[in-house]
Amino acid sequence: MEQTLRVCVYGATGYTGVELLRTLQKHPYVKVVSITSKSYEGKLLEEVFPSFSTSYLGKLCLTQEPEENFDVAFLCLPHETSLHLVPELLKAGKRVIDLSGAYRLKDANLYPKYYGFEHPYTDTLKEAVYGLPEIFRSDIKTARLVANPGCYPTATLLGLYPLLKEKLLEDDTIIVDAISGVSGAGRKTSQQFHFPEMTENAFAYSVLNHRHTPEMELVAGQTLGRDVKIRFTPKVVPMSRGMVCTIYAKARVKDLHDLYLEVYREEPFVKVIQNPPMTKHVLGTNLCNIYVGYDERTDLHVIVSAIDNLGKGASLQAVQNMNLMFGFPEVLTLDQPALFP
């Protein structure tokens, strides 16, 4: 279907919003009709980010009424802000791609513990489709609401998917050890990410209660057909963007490489490679590069996946979802190689 889609980007001045606009700007069937910002109301995007050299986007507005004239909304907002906006947009007949975590967990009871709020919109939560195309492509095509996955779950679930899909997991406890660039924390400042403390530094955080743990467990369990436990430890390292997840799992077979090649043969954005992946090879792309190794000594498989947290981990995956939802070629505007070195 070829049409001009009218798009509204809520939270256009954050890291995911800017990455999204960078790509939407060159999409042949998209017209961005509205962009919002909490702090830069009335400014042109190019006044805030001079690399946007055209003013075709119009001025940033504080918010956009759901009833206004647009077809699809991208929500690059804090979880709590998305939470209340999504039902209003759906009521106004809009299709929504929410980059926050507000609609990712099918079990509403998990929200108080992991997000700090009660989830009042359980019907909308049920309706949301988890936006990982490699697993839920057909549901995404018809969804009104896509809950775009978190960055760590994207890299982890793609790293595990062939193993889960083929029911080859032997031990239902999986260990995931991950590193992320600092942009994963968003544009707002905080002391721990302040340059003198973050440079030449690395640390684990939310070791026992990261909100991506239940997100991964729910989707992994659904794919496998029984519950799994994921022991997830995220770390932040002094680079702007990029993410590597190292996954340790016990499987019924020793050589998984050919299975991974086969499962991802037709996937445009997942590459199974011969060596452990580097973040620089996925920078600014929608790619997930995966290495699968087997350690005979421990009888553990070691799967390493790399993404750009703002690319496949957020905004470019959101564009992939939009392409699917509106019948555009899935790779449209997303098939560029990485910015390297």
Ligand X SMILES: NC(=O)C1=CN([C@@H]2O[C@H](COP(=O)(O)OP(=O)(O)OC[C@H]3O[C@@H](n4cnc5c(N)ncnc54)[C@H](OP(=O)(O)O)[C@@H]3O)[C@@H](O)[C@H]2O)C=CC1
Q: Write out the catalytic residue numbers.
A: 151
Tell me if 213 contacts ligand X2W by CB under 6 A.
Answer: no
Please pick, from the candidates 25, 81, 233, 240, the single residue that binds ligand X as defined by CB under 6 A.
81
The Cα–Cα gap between 192 and 148 comes to: 27
Please pick, from the candidates 76, 230, 236, 270, the single residue that binds ligand X as defined by CB under 6 A.
76
Please pick, from the candidates 151, 169, 256, 322, the single residue that binds ligand X as defined by CB under 6 A.
151
Q: Which two tokens stand for residue 195?
A: 């340059």
Instruction: Say if residues 282 and 306 touch (Cβ distance below 8 Å).
Output: yes
Tell me if 184 contacts ligand X2W by CB under 6 A.
Answer: yes
The nearer residue to ligand X, 100 or 285, going by C-beta atoms, is 100
Q: 7-17: buried (b, 16+ CB within 10 Å) or exposed (e) per residue?
A: bbbbbbbbbbb
Tell me if 39 contacts ligand X by CB under 6 A.
Answer: yes
Q: Which two tokens stand for residue 94?
A: 């809009």
- The residue with its CB nearest to ligand X2W is 184
Query: Which residues ranging from 80 to 139 are in contact with ligand X2W (CB under 6 A)?
Result: 100-101
Query: Which residues ranging from 265 to 324 are in contact with ligand X2W (CB under 6 A)?
Result: none
Calculate the alpha carbon distances from 25 to 28, 31, 214 in Å: 8, 8, 34
Q: How many helices (H) and strands (E) would you count in the chain?
A: 11, 13
* Binding partner selected for residue 236 from ligand X, ligand X2W, none, CB under the kind-specific 5 to 8 Å limit: ligand X2W
- How many chain residues are in contact with ligand X, going by CB under 6 A? 29
Backbone angles phi, psi at 79, to 5 degrees: -50, -45
Please pick, from the candidates 180, 289, 305, 320, the single residue that binds ligand X2W as defined by CB under 6 A.
180
Which of these, 165, 171, 161, lies nearest to 305 by C-alpha position? 161
The Cα–Cα gap between 129 and 137 comes to: 10
Q: Is the peptide bond before 337 cis (omega within 30 degrees of 0)?
A: no
The nearer residue to ligand X, 19 or 71, going by C-beta atoms, is 19
The residue range among 42-50, 88-96, 177-185, 263-271 that interacts with ligand X2W, by the rule CB under 6 A, is 177-185
* Binding partner selected for residue 277 from ligand X, ligand X2W, none, CB under the kind-specific 5 to 8 Å limit: none
Q: Which two tokens stand for residue 108?
A: 């509403």
Tell me if 223 contacts ligand X by CB under 6 A.
Answer: no
Query: Which residues ranging from 222 to 241 are in contact with ligand X2W (CB under 6 A)?
Result: 234, 236
Spacing of C-alpha 182 from chain mean position: 15
* Binding partner selected for residue 216 from ligand X2W, ligand X, none, CB under the kind-specific 5 to 8 Å limit: none
Strand pairing class (270-272; 243-249): unpaired
Tell me if 182 contacts ligand X by CB under 6 A.
Answer: no
Binding string, residues 287-326; x marks residues near ligand X by CB under 6 A: ----------------------xx--xx------------
CB of 311 to ligand X, least distance (A): 9
Q: Is the peptide bond before 341 cis (omega within 30 degrees of 0)?
A: yes
Please pick, from the candidates 132, 135, 143, 151, the single residue that binds ligand X2W as defined by CB under 6 A.
151
**The dihedral of CA 109, 110, 116, 120: what is its sign?**
negative
Cβ neighbors of 240 (< 8 A, separation 6 or more) are: 181, 182, 183
Strand pairing class (30-35; 5-10): parallel
Please pick, from the candidates 5, 8, 17, 328, the single residue that binds ligand X as defined by CB under 6 A.
17
The residue range among 47-55, 108-116, 180-188, 324-332 that interacts with ligand X2W, by the rule CB under 6 A, is 180-188
* Binding partner selected for residue 290 from ligand X2W, ligand X, none, CB under the kind-specific 5 to 8 Å limit: none
Q: Looking at the chain, how many residues does it have?
A: 341
Q: Which two tokens stand for residue 128?
A: 């949301």
Residues that bind ligand X (CB under 6 A): 11-17, 37-40, 76-79, 81, 99-100, 150-151, 183-184, 186-188, 309-310, 313-314
